[in-house]
Amino acid sequence: MAEASKMASDVQEAEEQQPPSQKIQIFPTITNVISPFWREKYEREAKRYWDIFYKRHQDRFFKDRHYLDKEWGHHFSGSVGKVILEVGCGAGNTIFPLLATYPDVFIYACDFSPRAVNLVKMHKDFKESQVSAFVCDLTVDDLSKQISTSSVDIVTMIFVLSAVAPEKMPLVLQNIRKVLKPNGYVLFRDYATGDLAQERFTSKDQKISENFYVRGDGTRAFYFSNMFLTSLFEENGFVIEELGLCCKQVENRLRELVMNRRWIQAVFRLSDDVNSSSSMEASLKKEFPGQEYIQPKVEESKVMGLVDNSEVDISESVAVDMFGISPSNDNEIIEVNVRGSNYKIKVLSKEYQHTCKSTGLMLWESARLMAYVLAGNPTIVAGKRVLELGCGCAGICSMIAAGSADLVVATDGDTNALDLLTQNITSNTKPPFLSKLITKRLEWGNRDHIEAIKEINHRGFDVIIGTDVTYIPEAILPLFATAKELISSKGDQEPAALILCHVLRRVDEPSILSAAFKFGFRHVDQWPAGTPNNPSNSIISSWFSDNVSEYIPSAALNIMYFLTE
């Protein structure tokens, strides 16, 4: 208890005495809204993310929409030879059920994912005499270059407009207006506010803007309210024919999940009378500010209510992707070669890394560099007790150290990272080295975790290694406080060392050095600069050969070497 109080006091004292320094803020402070950099990246690379989506899911994500005839059959039937435009055709889950029921229609099918369009063209029922499929970004490309103006009877927009940034949705509707016949219809179905997927997004840092989120794979989803949707269409020259909120519970018994799905289903008609609908909307907003509404001109019999017998478009087997639940194939294997030794490391797939809160589920470049250093210089850890702080799921530094050290304890505070770490160590490390390598959970400053590690090695560690553990300002003092608690007070042959390898991100070098000094660490060497007073006599430089450049994954990497006072 006294030790815990002393440790807390040391951290508090260091915080109070540490002089203010200019922080290098490469990454913004985490909020519940993603940074402008990522927001612009998702917009700029939307086509690529959806191409990857269709590469992964092919035609398995959405079910074939056999409900189209039941819901909107009266729009498709009637005169022979109706022309339909399917916007965001995906793999053809709308197109081919329509052709099977109405073989006389002709369908234009567009999507901005080339892979999706190829899936349509490779479908067994695809015929050029019935379907014209082409790549088109409706926020940029002119539809009238592919389709004659005022020639389309019906536009289907099913789970597609939600993938467009809300500020660009008017561009899509104006594009559609060019090719839609007067009094032509838009048949619409898409995600509604309050859907389970949106509720799960709110607990993560995946919000782009109001009701607009990015999924783990980089694709985006907007959740419509009645008010937003009606305003959007009315302001772009459409009137409401039908509008309703659909609700359904989807149960996945295998995963023991009950998913509450919500979507909006609507029919809009192209009209030249834009002013009347806009004025109606304005008056409704004044009377009912902030509330959803249904256009009162619509007859009650045409407005759908809450329903629980509607068909759900998303296939149950892959719907978990939409709800933030990790599917079994979220991980990928990467091969790492360190001085001729090959390691197969399981990490979080790249398509999920950018929205994952944990930094420990990937392999950082600093770990690659330190692995190379340790493999080429086993004397750094030979016969010593080694602790790795924040090693993440890869653990390649700890695995290499186990080849010559007496004991290696690999730690991280993230339980998911530790689970992957255990798998990677087991699959890449063989006896007798496996018996020398222990994994433990360690949150810096956590007294119980620290004591559990001291039980493994009560004499302290001769070498402590940390790769990319200096990126969070609030964690710097607990990092050095924990290292001070666990480092050996007197090495068996030489002073105990703390080695940090990192790219300076949100914490600058003076802040790191100040925190180190507060907890009794002396900065004796640095790479690539060498020691300040004698660059030619650098400890770290001796670890590298003349052709070091071919092993350095990033020129921004630094190594700092500390000894205990």
- Say if residue 111 is in the same domain as residue 13: no
Name the residue among 365, 364, 376 with its Cα closest to residue 339: 376
**Residues 416, 310: one domain?**
no
Short-list 5, 15, 12, 10, CA closest to 511: 15
Q: Which of 97, 232, 81, 250 is nearest to 162 (CA)?
A: 232
User: Tokens 């993938």 belong to which residue?
Assistant: 163
Does a structural domain hold residue 92?
A: yes
Whether 102 is in a domain gets the answer: yes
84 and 186 in a single domain? The answer is yes
How many Å apart are CA 212 and CA 202, to the nearest integer? 10
pLDDT at 268: 96
pLDDT for 140 equals: 93
In the chain, the number of structural domains is 2
Per-residue tens of pLDDT for the chain, all 565 residues: 555 555 555 555 555 554 444 333 333 344 468 888 888 888 988 888 888 888 877 766 667 787 888 889 888 887 678 999 999 988 888 899 999 999 999 999 999 899 999 999 999 999 999 999 999 999 999 999 999 999 999 999 999 999 999 999 999 999 999 999 999 999 999 999 988 778 777 656 688 999 999 887 788 999 999 999 999 999 999 999 999 888 876 665 555 556 677 889 999 999 865 444 443 444 334 333 443 433 433 433 333 444 445 566 655 444 444 444 444 446 788 899 998 899 999 987 765 555 555 677 788 889 999 999 999 999 999 999 999 999 999 999 999 999 999 999 999 998 888 999 999 999 999 888 889 999 999 999 999 999 999 999 999 999 999 999 998 888 999 999 999 999 998 655 688 999 999 988 778 899 999 999 999 999 999 998 754 444 445 889 889 876 666 677 777 889 999 998 7
Does 14 share its domain with 118?
no
Confidence (pTM): 0.55
Specify whether 286 is located in the same domain as 387: no
Rounded distance between C-alpha atoms, residue 109 and residue 499, angstroms:
58
Residue 345 domain flag: no
71 and 18 fall within a common domain: no
Q: Would residue 427 count as lying in a domain?
A: yes
- Please check whether residues 364 and 465 belong to one and the same domain: yes
Are residues 183 and 73 part of one domain?
yes
Q: What is the DSSP letter of 250?
A: E
Alpha-carbon distance of 443 to 446, in angstroms, equals 5
Task: Say yes or no: 396 and 289 in one domain.
Answer: no
Same domain, 411 and 531: yes
Whether residue 299 is contained in a domain is answered as yes
Residue 454 lies in a domain: yes
Domain-embedded: residue 489: yes
Domain range spanning residue 308? 36-323
Q: Answer yes or no: do 281 and 414 share one domain.
A: no
Q: What is the pLDDT of residue 356?
A: 57
Residue 354 domain-assigned (yes or no): no
pLDDT of residue 521: 96
Q: Are residues 412 and 468 in the same domain?
A: yes
Q: Any idea what the CATH number is for the domain that residue 7 is in?
A: 3.40.50.150
